[in-house]
Amino acid sequence: MDQFPEDIYTEPSNIDIDTLKNLGPLRGMAGVWEGNRGLDVKPKAEGPKKQAYVEHIELQPIDPQTNGPQLLYGLRYHTHVVKPEQVKTYHDQVGYWLWEPATGTVIHTLTIPRAQVVMAAGKASADATEFELIATNDSINFGIRSAPFLEYAFKTVEFRIKVTINPDGTWSYEEDTVLMIRGKSEAFHHTDRNHLKKIAEPTPNPMARK
Ligand code: HEM
């Protein structure tokens, strides 16, 4: 752990409070977005099933966050997914996208109401327009935690998400949630992808608004 300082309490001085200016590769994701070209491949008893979906994502800047000397900027998000023309929730997800400028690290936390949480990470440059994050269920840091039924029936062994910020101001993602389904010897790739168009600008973080 010698990449970390001895002094674990002193916070950095002169922190820029304007999160929108300090989001590195996440800058192009701030705002409110809609995507109606989503494609999900999900596990069904009879095998993989494809399903089109419509997604609404709100990604709003939070105030800079410190852990002692560690400084993180970020977005808090809520994703809501329905099948086309339907009201019933098909997928719901909340969490943060975080950027640590000092190490060029992007961290994505996700919580879904299946009783599952994931934290994935990857490296990127501040001006990157493509980056990939990974979580594995055997990692202490960037891992996957499922309540007992899911661990028994649909054990999630890996999660990865690749984000592309497009030149026209839209962004896209491709994600792969790798499941070991009870009774099957081969891994199942529960995949999702979508292309997001902005429908509203982000609201600046509380300190920047003041
Ligand atoms: C836009 C993204 C996603 C959509 C639309 C989606 C949708 C779904 C749906 C509809 C099912 C249930 C299959 C069925 O019984 O009909 C399912 C299963 C599952 N999903 Fe996702 N999912 C998404 C992302 C994720 C992510 C990010 C994770 C975790 C990292 C995840 C974990 C699981 C697990 C463990 C199951 C198996 C449990 C079950 O089938 O009851 N999903 N997903």
Which pLDDT tens digit goes with each residue over 156-182?
A: 999 999 999 999 999 999 999 999 999
Q: Hunting for tokens 């690749």 — which residue is that?
A: 162
Using a 10 angstrom Cβ sphere, with 0-12 exposed, 13-18 middle and 19 or more buried, the burial of residue 52 is exposed
The answer to whether residue 117 sits within a structural domain is yes
At 40, is the pLDDT very low, low, confident or very high (cuts 50, 70, 90)? very high
Helix-then-strand count for the chain, H and E: 2, 11
> Which amino acids bring their CB within 6 angstroms of ligand 1?
40, 42-44, 53, 81, 90-91, 110, 112, 114, 116, 118, 150, 154, 156, 159, 175, 177, 179, 190, 192
What percentage of the chain has pLDDT greater than the value 90? 98
Question: Which pair of structure tokens corresponds to residue 114?
Answer: 């299946």
Check residue 167 and give its pLDDT: 98
171 found inside a domain? yes
Chain segment 121-135, per-residue pLDDT in tens: 999 999 999 999 999
In a domain, 1, yes or no: no
Which two structure tokens, joined as six digits, stand for 133?
Answer: 């994050």
Q: Which residues contact 183 (CB under 8 A, 6 or more apart)?
A: none
CA 70 centroid distance within chain:
20
**pLDDT tier at 137, thresholds 50, 70, 90:** very high
Residue 153: give the domain boundaries. 19-201
Mean of the per-residue pLDDT values for the chain? 97
- Domain CATH for 193: 2.40.128.20
**How far apart are the CA of 42 and the centre of ligand 1, in A?**
6
* Domain assignment of residue 164, yes or no: yes
Residue 55 has pLDDT above 70, yes or no: yes
Q: What is the mean pLDDT of residues 18-28?
A: 98
Nearest protein CA to atom 1 of ligand 1, as residue: 192
Phi first, then psi, for residue 122 (nearest 5°) are -165, 165
The Cα-based distances of 102 to 71, 105, 118, 123, 172 in angstroms read: 8, 8, 23, 11, 26
Let me know if residue 4 belongs to a domain: no
Per DSSP, the residues of 39-104 read: EEEEEETTEEEEEEEEEEEEEEEEEEEEETTEEEEEEEEEEEEE-TT--S-SEEEEEEEEEETTTT
CA atoms within 13 A on the CB side of 55: 28
**78-111 pLDDT tens trace:** 999 999 999 999 999 999 999 999 999 999 999 9
Pairing label, strands 171-181, 188-200: antiparallel
Q: Does residue 3 have a pLDDT over 90?
A: no
pLDDT, position 1: 62
Structural domain tally of the chain? 1
Across the strands, what pairs with 165?
171
Q: What is the mean pLDDT of residues 1-25?
A: 94
Percent of the chain with pLDDT over 70: 99
Of 93 and 1, the structure prediction assigns the larger pLDDT to: 93
Assigned domain for 210 exists: no
8: left (phi over 0), alpha (psi -120 to 50) or beta: alpha
Reply yes or no on whether the pLDDT at 185 is more than 70.
yes
Angle at 44 between CA 39 and CA 50, to 5 degrees: 20
Rounded mean pLDDT of 26-42?
98
Q: Whose CA is nearest to atom 10 of ligand 1?
A: 90
Any domain includes 14: no
Per-residue pLDDT band for 114 (boundaries 50, 70, 90) equals very high
Tell whether 11 is covered by a domain: no
